[in-house]
Chain A
Amino acid sequence: EIVLTQSPATLSLSPGERATLSCRASQSVSSFLAWYQQKLGQAPRLLIYDASNRATGIPARFSGSGSGTDFTLTISSLEPEDFAVYYCLQRSNWPWTFGQGTKVEIK
């Protein structure tokens, strides 16, 4: 099973700041990685698929990069609604696995 390790566990930032979230895979997942956002009490929302493709309706301030084992989700300028937990998910190998999540909180 591929293990995804997200860092940091918590990111404390202010609105308007840039957020950089990392997801590292225990073995190569090529570009088969997605990012999801989850707000408290809500279902997750797809942000990025195949490492760098924004899902429908996702603002341009969200971007994804990386391939192989190292991936990054960048939020260029945090809006108040962006404070949430973010998860990466790999589909390169069965079983699909999520990272443990990064919480982006208001500083």
Chain B
Amino acid sequence: EVQLLESGGGLVQPGGSLRLSCAASGFTFSSYAMSWVRQAPGKGLEWVSAINNGGGSTYYADSVNGRFTISRDNSKNTLYLQMNSLRAEDTAVYYCAKDRIAVAATFDYWGQGALVTVSS
């Protein structure tokens, strides 16, 4: 059974940093691209970042480019999102999502989400 388990969310002050992790199991993690998608309270979905299966190609939304860094450790079956210079508008539930094939925005499995709150 495919499982994605996010961790690392919490309350952080504006300008602070946080690192989210997504532990994957039930599939060959190193074979699939992964993404982070977020959802602000009461709002719609926003794609944040993607990484290919090997980790050599990364992609970002304009709103986080230069502040967030996606990475993965295929030996640990874990996806990461390093978030720096956090702003109030980054407050959201952050989902990690497995791509069905390659880097294709066809997310067939999702985690349960990790809440990040940016507030003083």
Query: Which residues in A have some Cβ–Cβ distance to B below 8 Å?
Result: 1, 32, 34, 36, 38, 43-46, 49-50, 55-56, 85, 87, 89-91, 94-101
Least CB distance from A42 to B in Å reads 9
Q: When the two chains form their complex, are residues B112 and A34 in contact, meaning their CB atoms are under 8 A apart?
A: no
Known A43-B112, A95-B61; 20 more pairs at CB < 8 Å? A43-B95, A44-B37, A44-B95, A44-B110, A45-B110, A46-B100, A46-B106, A46-B108, A49-B106, A55-B108, A56-B108, A87-B45, A89-B45, A89-B105, A91-B105, A95-B62, A96-B61, A97-B47, A100-B44, A101-B44
Number of interface residues of B (CB under 8 A): 21
Q: How many A-B residue pairs have CB under 8 A?
A: 60
CA distance A50 to B105 in the complex (A): 10
Q: Which residues of B contact A96 (CB under 8 A)?
A: 47, 50, 59, 61, 105
B46 at the interface (CB under 8 A from A): yes
Interface residues of B (CB under 8 A from A): 37, 44-47, 50, 59-62, 95, 100, 104-108, 110-113
Q: Once the chains bind, are A55 and B100 in contact (CB under 8 Å)?
A: yes
> How far, in whole Å, are A85 and B113 apart by their CA atoms in the complex?
17
Complex: A101 Cα to B43 Cα, angstroms: 9
